[in-house]
């Protein structure tokens, strides 16, 4: 099993790359957006390229922990 960091998991769910059958990792797209906004303090809506760019630049500085549910 591959472990994803919470920020990475939220981004993958926003991109709808994780199917609902993967219950441990899946969260609805709307919830993924809420978590990204909460954890980063940013709001790029559903603009995935902007999220990817911001996370690439700042993501390693964030300390996100806990359950994404």
pTM: 0.84
pLDDT of amino acid 62: 79
- Is 10 within 8 Å of 36 (Cβ atoms)? yes
Q: Read off the pLDDT of residues 31-67 as tens digits, 9 standing for 90 and up.
A: 999 999 999 999 999 999 999 999 999 988 877 765 5
pLDDT of amino acid 1: 46
Phi-psi region of 24 (alpha: psi -120 to 50; beta: other; left: phi over 0): alpha
Cα–Cα distance for residue pair 61/69, rounded to 1 Å: 22
22, pLDDT greater than 70: yes
Token digits of residue 67: 């359950």
């Amino acid at each position: 099993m591959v472990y994803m960091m919470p920020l990475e998991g939220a981004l993958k769910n926003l991109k709808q790359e994780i199917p609902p059958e993967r219950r441990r990792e899946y969260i609805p797209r709307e919830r993924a957006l809420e978590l990204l906004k909460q954890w980063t303090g940013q709001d790029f809506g559903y603009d995935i390229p902007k999220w990817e760019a911001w996370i690439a630049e700042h993501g390693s500085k964030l300390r996100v922990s806990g359950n994404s549910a």
